[in-house]
Structure 1
């Protein structure tokens, strides 16, 4: 698990410090969301993606960076990295490949690419991580995570260490800053 070491450092489960992570993220504090509540809602609650697509206020806080008739992209509500976005099909689909025709899949991947490039251009990134996660047992609506790795991130803070709440923590970014970032990313996409 992650714990805060004052305002400027992160300490992992093994006691190792990640002071560079906070320095690269500015002055944002980090926290670990209530994982039990998150998993309970993911497994037993309504589909969060369908809620966002429908504009359900219970799923507010995901600032949209792009939308068209088939896809939606928005900032992660609890990002581990600044600019962390998700790309989703508007229609509820559960399998990353089997629920799409080749043409539908490639159209979504074009959106993933465009979002990744807009995020990379806006926040800077040593590398862009792109992955589809989720489970048939929770968060079933297929979605792609688009995550920028800040330049200069030490190797032991990269990959899964940079992606999970347990190791990286969620950034406490004020809503107005998330909205402004989403607008800038959207502008880079021509929106």
Structure 2
């Protein structure tokens, strides 16, 4: 996996002072564009703009919600988690990771819109570069051409289309 350094200061400034990245993406703002891999009336799944692992996907509700426990009633939570699982299984089918990480990150200080990270750890990654290390942009982000991103999104869309009830 080829990695490049990320401008963390610019990223933090964007997360803390810019618009909500999910809402801006859904509104079609070009500076917040992402590759969508799945969308329904309530949710969207899209490729991480700064992936640390191949095929890293974010899943978010379309509504601007900020708390996974407080802002979702049980039925909405279960619908979202069902989609997280379906997307995670698609990531596993396409990338065959040795482990799949699922995390809900963000905070009131930045990236507040509720979202889940789905990241598959490729086989053979040394232990010291797994878990938190593998997810931290401080350790670099994957270099991808637009064509590679398009191909990843297309492969995931194909698997997700077949997987949806």
- TM-score normalised by the chain length of structure 1: 0.82
SS of the residue aligned with 1:141? coil
For 1:17, the equivalent position in structure 2 comes to none
Distance in structure 1 (CA, Å) of the matches to 2:61 and 2:5: 28
- The residue aligned with 1:100 is 72
User: Aligned to 1:66, which of 35, 38, 46?
Assistant: 38
Give the superposition deviation at 1:103: 0.4
CA distance in 2, matches of 1:165, 1:56: 23
Give the corresponding residue for 1:53. Answer: 26
In the TM superposition, residue 166 of structure 1 has moved relative to its aligned partner by 1.4
Unmatched runs of 5 consecutive residues or more in structure 1: 1-24
Which aligned segments of 4 or more residues in structure 1 are displaced greater than 2 angstroms?
none
Distance (whole Å) between structure 1 residues aligned to residue 19 and residue 161 of structure 2: 32
The structure showing larger relative contact order (alpha-carbon pairs under 8 Å, at least 6 residues apart) is 2
Residue 150 (structure 2) aligned to one of 160, 168, 179:
179
Shift of 1:32: 2.1
CA RMSD for the aligned pairs? 1.0
Answering whether residue 98 of structure 2 is matched by residue 126 of structure 1, we say yes
- Aligned with 1:161: secondary structure? helix
Q: Distance in 2 between matches of 1:133 and 1:32?
A: 21
Trace 1:33-44 onto structure 2 (pairs within 5 A). Answer: 33-44=6-17
Q: Distance in 1 between matches of 2:28 and 2:120?
A: 26
Cα deviation, 1:79-129, whole Å, max 9, x if unaligned, reads: 011100100000000001110110001101011001100011101100000
Partner SS for 2:37: strand
Q: Matched residues in 1 for 2:142 and 2:150: separation? A: 15
**In structure 2, the residue corresponding to 1:137 is in which secondary structure?**
coil
Structure-2 separation of matches of 1:178 and 1:108: 24
1:110 aligns with 2:82: yes
Partner of 2:114: 142
TM (norm. structure 2) is 0.95
Partner Cα separation in structure 2 for residue 97 and residue 52 of structure 1: 24
User: Quick check: which has more Rg, 1 or 2?
Assistant: 1
